[in-house]
């Protein structure tokens, strides 16, 4: 087109320029529709694997929103919604309508929100919180659909199966450990299940940000292969939780100890346990960040960090130690995260 302004009286758009613009727009929309269909097909394959291959389905469930996310990143909100609707309709035909409804409510919403946040190039903090909110809404819809559409309580079903499995596990280990040790094992398993029932709300809240981070990380990898570089989150050594996280951990721990010693089992006990569980997990992450920063600062082998990370997943005393490291890091700020944040705000 001519470089002259449209307000120029002598400015005239030639017919061939109009045709070129229309064709370019048509090619863009056609490409977006084709990509939307491809991502819908990938979502359908994911659902088929989840439904018919149980072992693989456990891992597929973690990345189910990914096709919708990538479609939204490349083509925007409209085409990600269309892709999700098409996938839902075909899933309803090839699997069943209930499964399709769960896919739409749980993974469709999360994928659409995350994809649109990245497409709009939102800052990392807003992207994370908006997508996490979408994930929490999805999890809530999952429970509502299970209760009112299928007429089942998935939480009660899961724990009833676990309760039934404890005696079987006790009998199976009885031949190796002896009667007394097997009975102790059974009591410990029953106590762990009761603890899981207690902190389930907190665990469900933590699922949403974990899924958001996993799918965003995978989307970055996929888009990088396509030649598109997405913004990453700040470097790990710049991560920092609010000061109130450590205070909430201390208050919830005091409340939990008080309720336990007093034999109180009301809403205060449940709330304290869930806040404590959430803050504990956050402090473990903060502790890992602090360890990573210290090892990087002192040029220590990063292989040790990987070992610490793996051990923390399976050894409670290690995760407890990281909780205290995270609390120290928040309270005393040895990495200078708050100072760096304050300087950035002053410059702005």
Three-state secondary structure call for residue 227:
coil
Question: What was the pLDDT predicted at 321?
Answer: 93
Three-state secondary structure call for residue 14:
coil
**Spatial CB neighbours of 103, under 8 Å, sequence gap ≥ 6:** 43, 47, 64, 87, 88, 91
Question: What are the extents of the domains in the chain?
Answer: 10-231, 234-341
> What is 303-321 written as a DSSP string?
HHHHHHHHHHHH-HHHHHH
Question: What was the pLDDT predicted at 342?
Answer: 63
For the chain, the first-to-last Cα distance in angstroms comes to 39
Burial of 296 by CB count in 10 Å (0-12 exposed, 13-18 middle, 19+ buried)?
A: middle
Q: Which residues of the chain have pLDDT under 50?
A: 1-13, 17-27
**Spatial CB neighbours of 166, under 8 Å, sequence gap ≥ 6:** 186, 189, 190, 193
Tokens of 18: 């109009």
Question: What was the pLDDT predicted at 194?
Answer: 78
Question: What was the pLDDT predicted at 254?
Answer: 93
Question: What was the pLDDT predicted at 24?
Answer: 45
CA distance linking residue 25 with residue 22, whole number of Å: 5
CA distance linking residue 124 with residue 138, whole number of Å: 21
Tokens of 38: 């491809």
Question: What was the pLDDT predicted at 175?
Answer: 63
pLDDT tens profile 26-85: 445 778 888 889 999 999 999 998 888 877 877 888 899 999 999 999 888 888 999 999
Burial of 129 by CB count in 10 Å (0-12 exposed, 13-18 middle, 19+ buried)?
A: middle
Side-chain-facing half-sphere of 18: CA atoms under 13 Å: 4
Scored b (16 or more CB within 10 A) or e, 155-173 reads eeeebeebeeebeeebeee
Question: What distances in angstroms separate CA 333 from CA 295, 325, 326, one per listed residue?
Answer: 16, 11, 10
């Amino acid at each position: 087109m001519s470089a002259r302004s449209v307000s120029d009286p002598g400015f005239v758009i030639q017919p061939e320029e109009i045709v070129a613009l229309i064709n370019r727009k048509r090619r863009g929309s056609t490409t977006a529709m084709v990509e939307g269909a491809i991502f819908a097909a990938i979502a359908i394959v994911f659902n088929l694997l989840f439904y018919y291959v149980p072992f693989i389905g456990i891992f597929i469930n973690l990345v189910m929103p990914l096709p919708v996310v990538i479609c939204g990143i490349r083509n925007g909100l409209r085409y990600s919604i269309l892709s999700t609707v098409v996938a839902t309709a075909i899933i309803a035909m090839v699997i069943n309508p209930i499964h399709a409804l769960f896919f739409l409510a749980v993974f469709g919403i999360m994928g659409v929100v995350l994809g649109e946040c990245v497409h709009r190039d939102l800052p990392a903090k807003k992207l994370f919180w908006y997508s996490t909110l979408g994930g929490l809404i999805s999890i809530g819809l999952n429970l509502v659909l299970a209760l009112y559409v299928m007429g089942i309580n998935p939480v009660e079903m899961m724990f009833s199966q676990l309760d039934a499995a404890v005696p079987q596990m006790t009998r199976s280990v009885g031949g190796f450990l002896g009667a007394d040790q097997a009975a102790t094992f059974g009591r410990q398993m029953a106590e762990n299940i009761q603890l899981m029932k207690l902190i389930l709300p907190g665990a469900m809240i933590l699922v949403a940000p974990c899924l958001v981070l996993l799918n965003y990380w995978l989307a970055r990898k996929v888009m990088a292969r396509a030649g598109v570089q997405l913004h990453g989150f700040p470097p790990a050594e710049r991560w920092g939780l609010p000061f109130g996280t450590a205070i909430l951990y201390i208050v919830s721990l005091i409340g939990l100890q008080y309720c336990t010693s007093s034999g109180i089992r009301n809403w205060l006990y449940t709330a304290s346990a869930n806040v404590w569980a959430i803050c504990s997990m956050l402090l473990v992450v903060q502790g890992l960040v602090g360890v990573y920063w210290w090892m990087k600062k002192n040029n220590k082998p990063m292989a040790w960090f990987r070992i610490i990370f793996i051990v923390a997943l399976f050894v409670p005393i290690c995760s407890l130690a990281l909780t205290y490291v995270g609390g120290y890091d928040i309270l005393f700020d040895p990495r200078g995260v708050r100072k760096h944040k304050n300087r950035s705000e002053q410059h702005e």
